[in-house]
Structure 1
Amino acid sequence: MKVAVVGAGSVGCYFGGLLARAGHAVTLIGRAPHVAAIRAAGLVLETASGAEAVRLGATTEIDGAAGAEVVLVCVKSGDTEAAGRGLAPFLAPDVTILSLQNGVDNAERLEAVLGRPVVPVAVYVATEMAGPGHVRHLGRGDLVLGPGPASEAVATAFRDAAIPTTVSANAVDALWDKLVLNCAYNALSAVTRLPYGRLLGVAGIPAVMADIVAECAAVAAALDLRLPDDTLTKVLALAGTMPDQLSSTAQDIARGRPSEIDHLNGFIVRRGAERGVPTPVNRLLHALVKALESGASA
């Protein structure tokens, strides 16, 4: 496949690197420092089995997506509409567009800008950029794709590239599962600057996570959605699968960049306010991260 990755941060670099290693023609579209490093020496893909340099295309320009058969949109949720507007002139007529983003409404927002279908994808992976052009894998790495004309073929290609991938008509439910995980971990990891394993070992944190999950479940119910009965169990178990992961929100704050908190805990707060559902714990965490953002940008 000819693949373009729009927003080649750690998630985009990881999946793009695996696809390129499997022989697909991948172009990463990202920030200048990463592009320069990748052009000079390839993408350093570091996993539990070691580090290797993967050769693939890299550019800072959105026209790198021209002619791609598959486009992975991996930009931050706040950049969704801007990415869609930039992409629109360069999309092939039969392109498959995948939204590999946090939050539950990015595919819909992209569709509104592009006027064409976008496949929602729930992403379960722990990654970080260890330096320019160097992505480090810390845990998991599986995807749940929504249905689409090419979803099964894309999933097969992903699986052949060592990316565990399933196609599900319930991908939106999977996105809600991921949203709840993010609401439970991202802000707390950012505020405490702790990775997931150490975070969960702090007295009182599991109880706070239970409160977060309860609020998310109440908001979901008000939207006529039902979270699985074992949601809290899965939330608490996540730390064991990614003990060394620092949340993407914590990484953003550390780099002085805007986070996605408005589309995580902030999303729960907004939807709760619309439906008359109180969300005090999510509101507090949202406010604390916004305060950290303000301090980081001062």
Structure 2
Amino acid sequence: MFNSSRWTLKRFTSTSTHDEGELGNERDSRRHSGRIHILGVGNVGGFIAHALASRPSPPPITLLLQDSNIYRQWIEKKRAIAVHSDGLDSIKSGFDISVLNDKIWYSLPEWSGNKSEEAYSLLAQRSQDAKASPVFSELVEDNSHIDCLIVTCKAPQTVKAVTSVKHRLSPDSTILFLQNGMGVLDEVNSKVFPFPGTRPHYVAGVFSHGLARKGPFHVDHKAIGTTLLSPVSQSGDLISQDNEQSTDWAPTTKYLLRTLNLTQQLVATTETPVALLQYQLEKLAMNAVINSMTALLDCVNGELLYNYSLTRVMRMILMEVSAVICALPELKDIPGIEDRFSAERLRRITVLLANKTGRNTSSMLQDMQYRRMLEVHYINGYIVRRGEELGIKCALNYMIMHLLLGKRSVLRQRESGAIPIDLSGP
């Protein structure tokens, strides 16, 4: 029998004394630093970093900035992350910074004024001469081991991002993946860690807080959600009922899960692997409708409602999604799957989410507006791929995916072909 009680998270009352003792014992017995690295400091990464820094006894946190231009924005934002909630900004500082320059990570001290600007200029030059500068000579190449890594990059960027720190990870490390869509772990395994013996430990997560960008390192917390977490096997598969493992996880996995669960703002819980898989698939189904349709129509979430024509499209998308999910072999022994993932129930929870987040702009629409890479390959594209494996044709999801990719291409071509006009006059 599957003993879910072994996976149940214990609720802790977080106090400064309790946390310090807990973390100290963990570090002494496990011999790891307790430092948490965050790769991808967009809305989700910034919110998590801010939440961790808000703890009574925050762990050491390093923000991994993948471009020197992002470091410049960090300087301009006074080296702090702001989260806007209930009409107020909460600002947290004290983060350590590591910047990627020419495939080398550099640890940057807390400089101020002209020295920070000079460091940015030197990073941007990407030349050997820059390294001879007194300021650049103070930069320390950062090859320190990463115990706990939280990856919040967009799904299409995840492989490249993890590759940049691959040499700093070991089989003792733990990586938490927080992306929209599914299929990222398969890519990481095939392209970054092809040999199972070298893979770090993995944790998968479903993040449902409503966030919007107000600016670099400035996040608008629009709606309280949850952060659902579960370890996965090093093959990338969620631990199944038939292959249940105990909670004797790696020390870094235990530490990361405990720290996140004790962080109040995240509203985090550790779920059973099978439960997390179902939450992932529910979110995938809702994103396949809300994200894709709002990005195509350039509308906020609520504008999908009370529209007969859009309701027809929504139903057709979800009929394909339902057929694929109910046929997945990893769910075959779980009772009630046909009811939970019926097209009608998926439609109801999608409508409820669109109504709850009616004024929000979906993440895919934001990516479209900023001409960023789209996660559609990991949402509608995932349904198409799994459907092909199962002999189920998902023509509508295939069409939606290519309409989105085509629209992004048209917008980029339109911008690149625009002719600048000088209106300032002689």
Check whether TM > 0.5.
yes
- How far did residue 203 of structure 1 move? 3.5
State yes or no: 1:51 paired with 2:93.
no
How far apart, CA to CA, are the structure 1 residues paired with 2:99 and 2:213? 17
Quick check: 111-120 or 183-192, which moved more?
A: 111-120
1:70 alignment partner in structure 2: 148
Does the 8 Å CA contact 1:151/1:167 hold for their aligned counterparts? no
Find 2:387's aligned residue among 272, 276, 296.
Answer: 272
**Does the CA contact (< 8 Å) of 2:41 and 2:217 recur in 1?**
no
Distance 1:25 1:296, change over 3 A: farther
Aligned length: 298
Pick the aligned partner of 1:157 from 248, 259, 263.
259
Cα distance change, pair 245–151 in 1 and its aligned pair in 2 (3 A): farther
Q: Matched residues in 2 for 1:234 and 1:17: separation? A: 30
CA distance in 2, matches of 1:279, 1:270: 9
Q: Which moved more, 1:46-55 or 1:62-71?
A: 62-71
In structure 2, what is the Cα distance between the partners aligned to 1:57 and 1:240?
39
Aligned residue number for residue 3 of structure 1: 36
CA distance in 2, matches of 1:43, 1:32: 17
2:422 match: none
**Hey, what does 2:162 align to over in structure 1?**
84
Matches for 1:101-180 after TM superposition, within 5 Å = 101-112=179-190, 113-114=192-193, 115-147=199-231, 149=249, 153-161=255-263, 162-168=265-271, 169-170=273-274, 171-180=276-285
- Summarize the Cα distance change of 1:2–1:202 in structure 2 as closer, same or farther, 3 Å threshold: farther
Is the 1:219–1:271 contact (alpha carbons within 8 Å) kept by the matching residues of 2? yes
C-alpha contact 2:174 2:202 (8 A) present in aligned 1 = yes
* Partner-residue secondary structure (3-state), 2:182: coil
**For the residues of structure 2 that align with 1:14 and 1:142, how far apart are their CA atoms?**
12
8 Å contact kept, 1:108–1:118: no
2 CA distance for matches of 1:142 and 1:167?
11
Q: Is the 8 A contact 2:41 2:63 kept in 1?
A: yes
| Higher-Rg member (1/2) | 2
Equivalent of residue 64 in structure 2, options 21, 24, 29: 29
Give the Cα–Cα distance (whole angstroms) in 2 for the partners of residues 92 and 116 of structure 1: 6
Distance apart, 1:152 and its partner CA? 5.6
Aligned-pair CA distance for 1:258: 1.4
2:353 corresponds to 1:238: yes
Per the TM alignment, residue 97 of structure 1 is displaced from its structure 2 partner at its CA by 0.9
Once the two structures are superposed, residues 236-281 of structure 1 have per-residue CA deviations (whole angstroms, 9 ceiling, x without a partner) of: 1112332222111111111111111111112212222333212232
Per the alignment, in what secondary structure is the counterpart of residue 45 of structure 1?
A: strand
Tell me the residue number matched to 1:14.
47
Q: Which runs of 5+ in 2 are unaligned?
A: 1-33, 108-141, 194-198, 233-248, 332-336, 414-426
Question: Does the 8 Å contact 2:182/2:382 carry over to 1?
Answer: no
Find the aligned partners of 2:306 and 2:163 in 1 and give their Cα distance. 44
- Write out per-residue CA displacement over residues 167-195 of structure 1, whole angstroms, 9 at most, x where no aligned residue: 12222222211211110111111111111
Quote the RMSD (CA, aligned, Å). Answer: 2.4
TM-score (norm 1): 0.89
- Contact 2:206 2:279 (C-alpha < 8 Å) held by counterparts: yes
8 Å CA contact 2:172–2:200 kept in 1: the answer is no
- Asked whether the 8 Å contact 2:202–2:231 carries over to 1, the reply is no
Q: CA shift at 1:98, angstroms?
A: 0.3
| Match of residue 182 from structure 1 | 287
> What residue in structure 2 maps to residue 255 of structure 1?
370
For the Cα contact (< 8 Å) 1:4–1:68, is it kept in 2? yes
Q: Aligned pair in 2 of structure 1 residues 286, 124: CA closer, same or farther (>3 Å)?
A: same
CA distance change for structure 1 residues 35 and 201 in 2, over 3 Å: closer, same or farther?
farther
Please list every run of 5 or more consecutive structure 1 residues that lacks an aligned counterpart in the other structure: none
Which position in structure 1 is the counterpart of 2:326? 221
Aligned pair in 2 of structure 1 residues 35, 87: CA closer, same or farther (>3 Å)? Answer: same
